[in-house]
Chains A and B, each alone.
Chain A
Amino acid sequence: MADIFVNKAPKEYVVVPFFGTAALFFLLLCLLLCFSAKEITGHYFNPHILAIVHTAALGWGTMVIMGAAYQLLPVICENELVSPRMAFLSYLFLTIGTCILVYCFWTFRTDWLMMVAGSSIVLSSYFYAYIIYRTATDANKSPIYQYFLLISALWLCFTTTVGILLVINLSYTFIPRNHIDVLKLHAHAGIVGWFLLLICGVGAKLIPMFLLGKSKKTILLYVALILQNLGLILFLVDGYFNPMGGRMLIYGALIALGTICWLIYLADTYQHRARKKVDVPMRHAAFSIGSKILAFGMIPVILLNPQTKWIALYGTLIFLGWITALILGKTFKTLPFIVWNQRYKNLNGKLKIPMPKQLYSEEVVKIQYYLYSIAIVLLCLGIALDSSLLLQYTGILWVLVAVLYVYNVFRIIFHKTTLHHENSTN
C-alpha cells in the first residue's frame, strides 16, 4: 500500500490553457491555409509557408502536446508534476513567442523581434525539459515511456536552439552551411526527435489504457526508441557535413523500422484489448497512422524527385495528417477528463453528475471527423494535382473543421458544474 501512487492530477491552470490556445492556433492555421491556398505547392522557404508551418508545429502541435504531457507525466512517471508554476511559464513563453514568430514570418520581419520570439520559444522548451527531467528522475522508476518523454524533450530543446540560430543567421550570417540545408535538419529534428518520439511514448502508454489492452512485447518499444534515435542522429550528422543524397534513405528506413516496431506493439495491444467498441475519437488514430505511413513513403519521392509540390505533400501528411488527426481525436479522450476531474472529482458517488463524455457534443465530433477525412484527402489531391481551385475550396473545409473543434473545446473548458438530485429524472 505504501508505494502506491494514486495520481494527483495537476491543477487546471497548468494544462487547460494549452488546449484552449492550441484550438485558437488551429483556427488561425486553417485560416492562413485558406488565404494562402495558391502558395502551398510552392517552395517552402516562403514567408507565408514558413508562417503556416510554424503555426502548425508550435501553436498547434507543440501547444497541445506540451499541455497533454504535463497532464500525463504524473501517470507515466508515477510522480507528481514538479513545479506547476514553471509549467505555466512555459505556456506563456510558448504562446507569446509563437504569436510574434508567426507574425514575423508572415511579414518576413527578420530583425530583433524575430529573435525575441525565438528566444521566448527556446526558454519555453528549456522549462519544459527541466520539468520533465525533474519529474521523471524524482520518480525513481524508469518505464520505457519515460525515456521517450525525456529524450523527446531534449530533441525539442535541440530543435528550438537550432531554430534561434537560424533566425540569427538570417540577419548575421555565421553558419558555415547553406541556410536551407540546416533548415531541413532543424525541421527533421523537430518532426522525428520531438513529435515522433513523444507521440510514440505517450501513445504506447495511453492507447492500451483507452482500449483496456495489454501487450507483453515491451522490448519492441526499446527497439523503436533505439532505431528512431539512431536514424535521426545519423541523418543530422551526415546531413550537416555532406550534401543530401541517397544515404538519407537508409536513415529514413531506420526510423521507419523503429516506427514499425511501435506499430506492432500497438497492434498486439489492439488484438488483446478488452474494450471492443472503438469510439470516434479513437477512429481518428487510424487516419493519423495512415498519414504517418504515407509520409514515410514520400521520403524516397522527395529525395529522387524534389519538386516543391511533393515536399508540400510530405509536410501536409506530417502536420495536417499524422499530428492533426491524432490531436483532433485525442483531445476528446483527455480534455473532458481533465475538466471533469477538477469539477466533479469530489462529487462522484455523492450526487448524480454528468460523465466526461457529456461535457462536449459527440455529434459535433462525428461531423468534425467526417469533414476532416474529406478535407485531408482533398488537400492531398489538390497538392498532388497542383490544383489551386481544389486547394481553395479545401481551405474552406479546413476552416469548418477548426470551427467545430474550437466550439467543442471551449464548450468543455467553460463547462459549469451541473448537479442533479438523485430523484430527478435528469
Chain B
Amino acid sequence: MKIALTDAFAQEKIRANHALIQVIDPELNINIIDLGLVYGLDFTIPNRITVTMTLSTPHCPLGDAIESGVTNALGKVFPDYQVDIQLVWEPEWSIDLVSEAGKEQLGIK
C-alpha cells in the first residue's frame, strides 16, 4: 500500500499504517503491512476508518483473529474512530504484494 504525501489524509494514513505493523499474521509470523494484506485506508467519512484488505488464503482459519487485530490496533491510535473492515478477494493476494522485508522473512530472498 502506497501513501502519497499529497493525500489530504496522509498524516492519518501514516499513523494507521504504523499501527497496523503491530498486527501479525499468526501463521506466517509477519506483519500484515509487509505481507501486503492491506490494500487501502480511507478517512473521508468523519470519525470512520475504512480498511480495505484481503487474507493470504480465502477463508483463512485465523481470519477473524487478523480482523480483530486490525480493529484493536487502529482503535488504540484513533480511539474516537469507528473501524470498518472491507474484506475483498479482488485483486487476489499474491507474493508480488509482499514487501522486501516480508520476502526476506518468508525465505524468498
Interface residues of A (CB under 8 A from B): 1, 4-9, 71-72, 74-75, 78, 209-210, 212, 274-277, 337, 340-341, 344-350, 355-357
Known interface pairs A274-B108, A277-B107, A356-B26; A341-B61 also in contact (CB < 8 Å):
yes
Tell yes or no: B16 within 8 A of A by CB: no
For A275, the closest partner residue in chain B by CB is B106
CB distance from B38 to the nearest CB of A (A): 13
Count of chain A to chain B residue pairs whose CB atoms are closer than 8 Å in the complex:
94
- B47 surroundings in chain A (CB, below 8 A): none
Interface residues of B (CB under 8 A from A): 19, 22-24, 26-29, 56-73, 76, 86-89, 95, 98, 106-108
- A276 surroundings in chain B (CB, below 8 A): 106-108
CB distance from A24 to the nearest CB of B (A): 25
B65 pairs with A71, CB closer than 8 A: no
A277 pairs with B106, CB closer than 8 A: yes
CB distance from A11 to the nearest CB of B (A): 13
- Enumerate 10 A-B pairs (CB-CB under 8 Å) in ascending A order: A4-B88, A4-B89, A6-B87, A71-B61, A274-B95, A275-B28, A341-B62, A348-B23, A348-B65, A349-B19
Can you name 14 extra interface pairs (CB under 8 A) apart from A348-B23, A349-B69?
A: A4-B87, A4-B89, A6-B64, A6-B87, A9-B64, A75-B61, A209-B57, A337-B26, A337-B62, A340-B65, A341-B65, A347-B72, A349-B22, A349-B70
Task: Among B64, B72, B98, B108, point to the contact of A7 (Cβ < 8 A).
Answer: B64
| Pairs of residues from A and B, 9 with the lowest C-beta to C-beta distance, nearest first | A348-B69, A349-B73, A349-B69, A349-B72, A276-B107, A277-B107, A350-B72, A274-B95, A345-B65
B29 pairs with A357, CB closer than 8 A: yes
- A212 surroundings in chain B (CB, below 8 A): 28, 56-57, 95, 106
CB distance from A376 to the nearest CB of B (A): 28
Q: How far is the CA of A345 from the CA of B26 in the complex (A)?
A: 10
A7 pairs with B60, CB closer than 8 A: yes
- B98 surroundings in chain A (CB, below 8 A): 274
B64 pairs with A345, CB closer than 8 A: yes
A337 pairs with B106, CB closer than 8 A: no
- B22 surroundings in chain A (CB, below 8 A): 349
A6 pairs with B73, CB closer than 8 A: no
A349 pairs with B108, CB closer than 8 A: no
Q: How far is the CA of A71 from the CA of B62 in the complex (A)?
A: 11
- B68 surroundings in chain A (CB, below 8 A): 345-346, 348-349
Known interface pairs A6-B63, A337-B62, A345-B65; A274-B72 also in contact (CB < 8 Å):
no
- B95 surroundings in chain A (CB, below 8 A): 212, 274
CB distance from A278 to the nearest CB of B (A): 9
- B29 surroundings in chain A (CB, below 8 A): 355, 357
Q: Which of A1, A5, A210, A348 has the most CB atoms of chain B within a 10 A radius of its CB? A: A348
- B26 surroundings in chain A (CB, below 8 A): 337, 340-341, 348, 355-356
CB distance from B36 to the nearest CB of A (A): 11
B73 pairs with A350, CB closer than 8 A: yes
CB distance from A234 to the nearest CB of B (A): 35
CB distance from B93 to the nearest CB of A (A): 9
Q: Which of B65, B95, B108 has the most CB atoms of chain A within a 10 A radius of its CB? A: B65
B106 pairs with A350, CB closer than 8 A: no
Known interface pairs A275-B28, A277-B106, A356-B27; A6-B67 also in contact (CB < 8 Å):
yes
Q: How far is the CA of A344 from the CA of B58 in the complex (A)?
A: 21
Q: How far is the CA of A74 from the CA of B63 in the complex (A)?
A: 12
- B65 surroundings in chain A (CB, below 8 A): 340-341, 344-345, 348
- B64 surroundings in chain A (CB, below 8 A): 6-9, 345
Q: How far is the CA of A344 from the CA of B61 in the complex (A)?
A: 14
A337 pairs with B59, CB closer than 8 A: no
Q: How far is the CA of A9 from the CA of B61 in the complex (A)?
A: 7
B66 pairs with A7, CB closer than 8 A: no
Q: How far is the CA of A341 from the CA of B60 in the complex (A)?
A: 12
- A72 surroundings in chain B (CB, below 8 A): 61
- A345 surroundings in chain B (CB, below 8 A): 64-65, 68
Q: How far is the CA of A390 from the CA of B68 in the complex (A)?
A: 53
Known interface pairs A349-B23, A350-B72, A350-B76; A274-B66 also in contact (CB < 8 Å):
no
- B63 surroundings in chain A (CB, below 8 A): 6-7
- A337 surroundings in chain B (CB, below 8 A): 26-27, 61-62
Q: Which of B61, B73, B89 has the most CB atoms of chain A within a 10 A radius of its CB? A: B61
CB distance from A210 to the nearest CB of B (A): 8
